[in-house]
Amino acid sequence: MRCVRSTLLVGFLFLAGCSAPPTVTKSDVPALLQPKLTLSIKVACVDLSGYGKRIEKKDIERFSATLKKEQIEILAVQGITRYPNVKTRVDFVNELAVQMDMRHAFGESIDISGRQEGNAVFSVYPIRSNQKKEYDVPSAFAETALHVSIDAGVMDVAIVSTRLPVKASSDELAKCMRTIAEFQKSPDAPFVVTGNLPAYKKSRDFEIFTDLQSSLPDGSAKLQTSRLWYMQGDLFKVVNARTVKTELGTLTVAEFGLYQQSRTQ
């Protein structure tokens, strides 16, 4: 009997010495990081290389009216021909910048007796920097890629406007895409590539990009004069996309959402 009492006493003392588990309040739970939409930007692109007529001021005025209606904030243009020193010819780059009240960067691919060809990027946001690269492939003649870094406030957005060599082989196209990818300094930074991009396919050189074509309405993808690829991440996503016909060619338009990490309880 004495042994049983001793056992019961030890058990009672053990239970009395154990404190109740602490109560977990909502404030004690670690906050989770969730992407929060902070800004939407509209990006568009068009290729003028197939436009067979002389571009006049009235053409740019009508084109600008469409851009304003669509609320385009960043525009990438390929296949530009300009005569900056010929007073009788309207300068597409300068005239569009004035009409749209946009900053701009022009990447010259070739200059033959004052006739310049190249690519450009226009932006309502400040342009931090711009850089031009040539393609080191046998089929390249004067094709270049213009990389522009844009200060969109919440984060920088990188835009590439390019014309790829028309007769490039699959291996050469892959090398060109690797050249473009070298512009990307951070995997989380918004990065957009526009131009006569090849048909998208899963490969080591292309898989880092997402083709906007998958977000376009059925039937509109074939209307593109300029295609758009982007590097998708948690902080940079397509909100919607479509094509818009203009006097100078079909615009490819994409609205992107820029996100920042926010804490939620």
- Write the CB contacts of 212 (distance below 8 Å, at least 6 apart in sequence): 227, 228, 229, 230, 238, 241, 252, 254
pLDDT, tens digit (0-9, with 9 covering 90-100), for 208-253? 889 998 899 877 777 888 999 998 878 889 999 999 999 899 999 9
- Predicted confidence at residue 255, as pLDDT, reads 97
Most confident of 17-26, 87-96, 195-204, 205-214: 87-96
**Neighbour order of strands in the sheet with 227-230:** 127-134, 144-151, 156-162, 191-195, 227-230, 210-211
Residue 48 in tokens: 């003028």
> Which residue segments constitute the domains of the chain, with CATH numbers given?
32-264 (3.60.10.10)
Residue 159 pLDDT > 90: yes
Q: What is the pLDDT of residue 10?
A: 44
Burial of 23 (0-12, 13-18, 19+ CB in 10 A): exposed
pLDDT at 7 over 70: no
| Summary mean pLDDT of the chain | 86
Q: Cα separation of 1 and 7, whole Å?
A: 10
Portion of the chain with pLDDT greater than 90, in percent: 62
Calculate the dihedral angle through the C-alpha atoms of 49, 51, 54, 57, rounding to the nearest 10 degrees: -100
pLDDT digits (tens, 9 = 90+) for 27-54: 554 555 667 888 899 999 999 998 989 9
Give the pLDDT of residue 168. 93
Summarised one tens digit per residue, pLDDT across range 168-210 is: 998 999 999 999 999 987 777 899 999 999 876 666 667 788 9
For 6-13, what is the mean pLDDT? 45
pLDDT for residue 79: 96
pLDDT at 1: 46
Q: Please name the helix (run of DSSP H) or strand (run of DSSP E) that holds residue 46, with its range, or none.
A: strand 32-47
The confidence band for 103, taking pLDDT boundaries of 50, 70 and 90, is very high
**Least confident span in 11-20, 48-57, 132-141, 190-199:** 11-20
pLDDT at 15: 44
